[in-house]
Amino acid sequence: MRLITRTMLAAAVALLASSAAWAEVSVTYVKPDDYTDVSRSQIERERTLKDFSEYFAKLDKKLPAGQTLKIEVLDIDLAGRFYPRRNGEDIRIMNGGADWPHMHLRYTLEQDGKTLRSGDDELSNMSYQERLSGHYSSDPLRYEKQMLDDWFEKKIVPKVAAR
């Protein structure tokens, strides 16, 4: 009985110690009610930001252990344009013209309390409908996620690999 307790205690301590080495991505939304293009509906806006938060959280798997990426979203302009409908629900139309996705981010990549990289970036994808994406066509944010993937691979991953 005592051996099991010690083993479980040792496992818990090891787990806590290793959790400090995990990579982490955190995101905050600065004044989301003022964003260029997120639904007027409070429910839809919350759903969109939750979807983005879940997606940003998955980026931690691409970071080395012990690194933290802090992202502040300053503006979002989704692909396409919203058009109001009589029933109160907006419909998003994407025509591939001047309606490409755009995001304004501020970020800091840290390890052991030291800043490895930081910046203030304007992301956009003018050819958003002309490229294949690794995201499902049923994903309403597939073009924005593709744009975020490009940004992450270009700005964050090369710096991570250089360490």
Note the residue count of the chain: 163
pLDDT the model gives residue 1: 47
Q: Please write the tens of the pLDDT for every residue from 52-106.
A: 999 999 999 989 889 999 999 999 998 878 777 777 677 777 776 778 889 999 9
pTM exceeds 0.85 for this model: no
Quick: pLDDT tens for 123-148: 988 776 676 666 767 777 888 899 99
Q: What is the CATH number of domain 22-162?
A: 3.40.50
Residues 5-21 have pLDDT tens digits of: 444 444 444 444 444 46
Beta bridge partners of 88: none
